[in-house]
Amino acid sequence: MPSVLKGNFKTEKTVEVHDVVDDSIEQRFEKEALKHLGGSVCFVAKKQVDWGSEKDDGSKKDSD
Amino acid sequence: MTEGDFGLQLLERMNELTLLRHGGTCFKNAEENRQHIKKGESLVQLRKLSKNSAIGSGASAIIIAAGPSVRKQDPASQIRASGYQGAVICTDSATSYCLRSGLIPDLIVSVDPQPSIIRWFGDPELSRSEVEANDYFRRQDLDERFIGKDEIQANDELLELVDLHGKKLRIALSTTTHPQVVQRCLECGAQVYFFNAMHDDPDQEGSITSKLQQENGLPAVNAGGNVGTLCWVMATAVLGKNPVALTGIDLGYYEDTPLQRTQYYDAIRSLVNEEEVGRFFMKIHNPHLDQTFITDPAYHWYRDAFLQMVLDEPSETWNCTEGGILFGKGISFRPLAEFLSKFEAMGEALPERKGAA
């Protein structure tokens, strides 16, 4: 690619070109198709409610 | 090739796949919904109402979801006939069933981010061409009145029913719900209570959930993967109800259900050919009913999440679905009639429950 693209100016800093490792078409297809099998919403294996700073008993931060 | 082997492989990736599936839409919705949040209340207010005994009489609650057992067990009719006065909490998908059965739920819960969710409340913009192009709702094993003889007519009836009872409804809505759904809920006159659905651990650095909370100041609730489990979280951790009965939470299908009539069939067919579809579906024998049910990776994941969450929950959980795959440690699997008679016997019930029809 660098041998094909030639600019008509010089950059101030040296630009490092990394080869982009992209998913194959099959992998992308699989990822796209699999995501339709996901659930409705996430599950967080920790607490049920994080009331943030708004808990009704006046406490600043709590969780149930 | 083994039946269910792909399904079991996918179980470990379900949270990742869920984020892939909905993550982008969720955050876009949350951004657009900022303007609507001030038109409702925070979930904190709902908790306060419950503490003041304004949501159902007594300590118990019944959840109604829209699983295939609802058609067979008809929990709304059982609840009405018993005179049960405790809190009734339903999923958005069970709103039509409840209202058409003459039962006004004390709380409706909605969390999914897709615009199609509006159908559960009646879609004011539903067109004939849209109905013809999308058979999703026709393929589901729902209360048959939701589709009716004519889907447009059934939608019109639901629109009227929701509008008629709107002012008596309380709806808990995730900020990541589609803005059209939020608008529909607000416009029907319901009291809306907003919360953030948890996407990750809010205590972790860089948490998306925590970012949402900082932006809108609302509590974050763990939905356990789906709206049915979220209803249970609302009953126990938000409203403080104990015991809580589940109905319509099958997390699976009756064994004779054609796979084409299951919710992930189309997605699975986009991955494999017809002969391999069975590799995504698993069979689970329910020993309480001595009956086998079919489940898919998403439902199985919801089951695993629920069984994990129920162990940390002090409230007693009865599964009165009388079908499906949700059984295990921490869950009493019993008929709804037993739950109703027990809590009537304890003097919780009054002669007539308010009706919607």
pLDDT (tens digit, 0 to 9) for every residue of chain B, 357 residues total? 567 777 787 777 787 778 777 777 888 999 999 999 999 999 999 999 988 888 998 999 999 999 999 999 999 999 999 999 999 999 999 999 999 999 999 999 999 999 999 999 999 999 999 998 888 888 877 888 898 889 999 999 999 999 999 999 999 999 999 999 999 999 999 999 999 999 888 888 888 889 999 999 999 999 999 999 999 999 999 999 999 999 999 999 999 999 988 888 888 887 788 888 888 899 999 999 999 999 998 899 999 999 999 999 999 999 999 999 999 999 999 999 999 999 865 544 434 444 554
**Residue B157 pLDDT:** 96
Distance (Å, whole) CA B169 – CA B339: 25
Cβ of B47 and A42 within 8 Å? no
Residue B104 · residue B356 · CB < 8 Å: yes
Burial class (CB in 10 A: 0-12, 13-18, 19+), B311: exposed
Phi and psi (nearest 5°) for B295? -140, 160
Contact B244, B60 (CB under 8 A): yes
pLDDT at A52 over 70: yes
Q: Do B238 and A54 touch (CB under 8 A)?
A: no
What angle do the packed helices B75-82 and B336-345 form, to 10 degrees? 20
**Count of residues in chain B:** 357
Instruction: Sort out which chain A residues have CB atoms less than 8 A from B236's CB and list them.
Output: 48
| Whether residue B243 has a cis bond before it, omega within 30° of 0 | yes
Residue A18 is predicted with a pLDDT of 60
**Structure pTM?**
0.87
Q: Angle at which helices B14-37 and B297-311 pack, to 10 degrees?
A: 80
CB–CB of B319/B249 below 8 Å? Answer: yes
What are the Cα distances from residue B263, in Å, to B72, B130, B139, B194, B252?
A: 19, 18, 8, 27, 10
Distance between CA atoms of residues B286 and B29, nearest Å: 39
Position B352 scores a pLDDT of: 46
- Residue A49 has its nearest CB partner, among B174, B176, B238, at B238
Please give the span between the terminal C-alpha atoms of chain B, in angstroms, as a whole number.
51
Confidence of residue A54 (pLDDT cuts 50, 70, 90): low
Alpha-carbon distance values, B261 to B18, B136, B258, B295, B297 (Å): 22, 9, 6, 12, 16
- Residue B86 phi/psi, 5° resolution? -70, 180
- Judging contacts by C-beta atoms under 8 Å, the chain B residues touching residue A36 are 21, 264, 266-267, 270
DSSP one-letter code for B317:
E
The partner residue sitting opposite A33, judged by closest CB among B217, B271, B302, is: B271
CA distance B214 to chain A (A): 8
Distance (Å) from the C-alpha of residue A17 to the closest C-alpha of chain B?
Answer: 29
Largest Cα separation within chain B, whole Å, is 57
In chain A, which residues touch B (CB < 8 A)?
Answer: 30-31, 33-56, 64
pLDDT value at residue A5: 58
> Residue A25 pLDDT > 50, yes or no?
yes
Q: Do A40 and B267 touch (CB under 8 A)?
A: no
Residue from A26, A44, A54 to probe the interface with B (highest B Cβ count within 10 Å): A44
pLDDT of res. B350 = 39
